[in-house]
Structure 1
Amino acid sequence: MKRLLAGFTLIVFSFLGVWLLPARDQKNVSDDRPTPSPAKVGHPSFLSPHFKPIVVHQDRLFVANTPADTVDVFETSTNDLLARIPVGIDPVSIAIRPDGLEVWVSNHISDSISVIDTNRKSSTHLRVIDTVQDIDLEKRATNFDEPVGIAFASNQKAYVALSSENKIAVIDVASRKVSKHLNIPAQDPRAISVRNGKLYVLPFESNNKTQLSGGYKIDGDLVTFNAHEHSIANNNVLSLGHVLDIVKHPNVPDKDLFVFDTETDKLIETVDTLGTLLYGLTIDSKGSVFVAQTDARNHINGRSGTKKHGLAQLQNRAFLNQITRVDFQKNAAKKPSFINLEPLPSVKITPQDAFATPFAIEISSNDQTLIATAAGSDKVFTVDTSSGKVMGHVKVGSVPRGIALRSNDKGAPVQAWILNAVENSISHINLSDPEKPVVTSTIKLDDPT
């Protein structure tokens, strides 16, 4: 989607039709005119990069129905479907404006944000009233490539993660225009969040300080094979008998979390060594950051070339499934701590013990309980933030990737709605007892595929 040819641009714009109409083209729609049903087009899962694809506001649940290219709206007490709102292609993230009057939806393939009116007194209630884009008409290319996470600093300013650009777009809410970009010197920023005047940004494809250990002067530690001999002199075509090792190098960059001041948009802290694939992000009221992630162990059997390492050394565990915690002293990050969700590789685990691919994560209003999904194990689980212990878990649908959490007046979690991305369903969970979460109902989303 980086560069659009003229013909393809016209086709896409024609196909999207009303989805890309700005607000001024929809103001004359009468209040009593029914919202048209979305066309039964759809598409299979693109392994879409979800981040917060489901949110709850008052008595409304907003869900990114990714294969249908809609946002589906449900009444929380009855699970009744209130609206199916056509948006762009591949909706992956939803954010509610702080005043609750708009919902913004990032369309990963359309390279756009759909703005939905949620003002119940408005004649355009639950309709797309505007589209945020940034197109260079001269180059016929988008400057808003592959948006994922959305976060509001205020009712006037929003941030959008442009995943393939390694940038954060800063958007003026009133004009719907991109005012500037924040550069992220790391790969594929997706998860972003604002709390207490700070913007937190996670790159998805973070490093873990590993690299090929080839060089000229072998030291047996950081340089374990002669790169010229194996890669140039003898094996530059077929790589027959090629030797390759992987080691952890302390000087390899590993930037995992970026913290900005939302008043000035200035970078105030960068944190490293949080994990390798960083999926989910939540922040408590005191500014402690929790990251749902998997940490690669590719260095454990890294001497596959010189010592013939294999699965025996890896113990058949390619990743550690973890939650990383980062506390701050003023604006300076302390050393990260890690919650291992499974027994370490020296212990054989069973499916009951598995929490593969921690993905979505939210924290209760009282800061005491984490609710997270294990997308690879089809589970939702709870964690005590003080002890780091997993308290309970429950089986849900296939590949859970989103959580909409509700806490009670005392801040304790009481219920959650889980988006199961591959099954395309919602699991409604009772969290009154965090040690025994219970699925109370399942909502099947309309799936044209």
Structure 2
Amino acid sequence: MKEMKRAETRCGYIFILEIMVLAFLMLVSIAGATPFAYITNYGNDDVSEIDTVSVIDTATNTFITTIDVGRGPTGVAITPDGSKVYVLNSFDSTVSVIDTTTNKVIATVDVENGPIGVAVSPDGTKVYVTQCRDEDGNTAISIIDTAKNKVTDTINIGHYDSLGDIAVTPDGKRVYVLAEGGPTSVIDTATNTIIATVNVGSYPGGIVITPDGKKAYVANGYNNVSVIDTATNIVVATVSDRIGSVSGIAVAPNGSKVYVANYGYGANNIYDGGGNISVIDTLTNKVTVMVPLGKYTYGVAITPDGTKLYVANDYSNVSVIDTSTNKVTSTVNIGTRHLGIAIGNKKVQNVSHTTPSEFNSLLVVILILYIWRKSTKI
């Protein structure tokens, strides 16, 4: 009889251990079910959120944590596997590297001059960072090796006021670089040399390339968007109707739409401090709808499934837009002076990100299984 009871006790311990392991795996699965958004908080000297990155869970549109980075964070990009976030610190001339499993800075990379734009290669091995001009008026791109988190190469672009945003083609073979006071440069990534230049509009501020790699959309500061045929590197269209003072741009995962953030837009394209999103149909290159938002819209990013668009409103909050209805469905209040935003792919996050409701659900499951075990006397 005693041996039987001991055996039952051992079985009970084993059962509980099995349930604990199952619960842990479920926690990890739940935590990694949705991508997270990373928003830079440029801040002001009189606010506590200065020089940080805020993290939002895109499943619940809730604030997760704040990460301290360098001074004046602006641009942000995430590796394709979602494991690392690269944040540009404009005042420090550095790049902060964040591990997304812990949301901690694991490295700081020095670049020569104030970083402006950032893009990650499709294979995740390289990060391209554009910079301001140096004392001699030269502009350049720093290439960071993501395995070492060190600058391994530099590409000289030319004498311009400054470089701007940057984008890599889906096949990783070409890089498109914007310049203030100059043309858009096209770089062959195999040789790191400029193979073409394209004249676009004035003060280009953002660029995206369609998922099929056939077109590049350049958001120009003065009320238009240039469309580049990447096969010929010629501007084939200019979208100007219902485009304001452009500050950010994103493309849908299926390539059907391009979303343009207008920093300030009023009647007859007169700046009024208001903000909205212009939605461009990439088949017709026409604006089909405008979505009104808060003041000073800036950075913009879309979820991997294309269902939600996140817009960083410079002096206020983050707006969430349902892309099927083009309506604002949520507003997240975090930090201040939001300039950059990026959304990662699905990945396993720290299990501490599991919400209380999810954890309570797991406890209910464990309790039911425990009662069933006792009732069947297994």
Equivalent position of 1:234 in the other structure? none
1:168 counterpart (184, 202, 206): 184
Judge conservation of contact 1:150–1:158 (CA < 8 Å) in 2.
yes
Deviation at 1:274, TM superposition (A): 3.2
| Cα distance change on mapping 1:203 and 1:269 into 2, 3 Å | same
Alpha-carbon distance in structure 2 between the residues aligned to 1:108 and 1:287:
33
Q: Which amino acid aligns with 1:87?
A: V
Q: Cα deviation per residue 1:14-36 (whole Å; 9 max; x = unaligned)?
A: xxxxxxxxxxxxxxxxxxxxxxx
Alpha-carbon distance in structure 2 between the residues aligned to 1:286 and 1:70:
32
Deviation at 1:109, TM superposition (A): 3.3
Equivalent position of 2:292 in the other structure? 340
| Cα distance change on mapping 1:73 and 1:282 into 2, 3 Å | same
Cα root mean square deviation, aligned: 2.8
Judge conservation of contact 1:94–1:103 (CA < 8 Å) in 2.
yes
Is 1:151 matched up with 2:167?
Answer: yes
Equivalent position of 1:365 in the other structure? 304
| Cα distance change on mapping 1:298 and 1:274 into 2, 3 Å | closer
| Cα distance change on mapping 1:102 and 1:323 into 2, 3 Å | same
Q: Which runs of 4+ in 1 moved over 4 A?
A: none
Judge conservation of contact 1:171–1:180 (CA < 8 Å) in 2.
yes
Sequence identity (%): 26
Q: Which amino acid aligns with 1:290?
A: Y
Deviation at 1:70, TM superposition (A): 0.6
Alpha-carbon distance in structure 1 between the residues aligned to 2:282 and 2:77:
29
Is 1:129 matched up with 2:186?
Answer: no
Secondary structure at 2:274 match in 1: strand
Deviation at 1:298, TM superposition (A): 6.5
Specify which structure has the higher proportion of helix.
Answer: 2
Q: Cα deviation per residue 1:37-90 (whole Å; 9 max; x = unaligned)?
A: xxxxx9x86xx9x5x434344311111111111111111111222211100211
| Cα distance change on mapping 1:77 and 1:67 into 2, 3 Å | same
Q: Which amino acid aligns with 2:288?
A: P
Structure ranking higher on relative contact order (CA contacts 8 Å, 6+ apart): 2
Count of paired positions: 275
| Cα distance change on mapping 1:57 and 1:365 into 2, 3 Å | closer
Judge conservation of contact 2:318–2:334 (CA < 8 Å) in 1.
yes
2:115 counterpart (91, 116, 121): 91
Specify which structure has the higher proportion of strand.
Answer: 2
Structure 1 spans left out of the alignment, 5+ residues: 1-41, 136-141, 207-255, 303-316, 342-354, 416-428, 432-449
Q: Which amino acid aligns with 1:366?
A: D
Q: Which amino acid aligns with 2:202?
A: Q
1:260 counterpart (228, 239, 245): 228
Q: Cα deviation per residue 1:135-176 (whole Å; 9 max; x = unaligned)?
A: 5xxxxxx2x5411111112322111001222x1001121222
Judge conservation of contact 2:206–2:220 (CA < 8 Å) in 1.
yes
Which TM-score applies when normalising by structure 2? 0.66
For residues 183-198 of structure 1, the aligned pairs below 5 Å read 183-184=199-200, 186-195=201-210, 196-197=212-213, 198=215
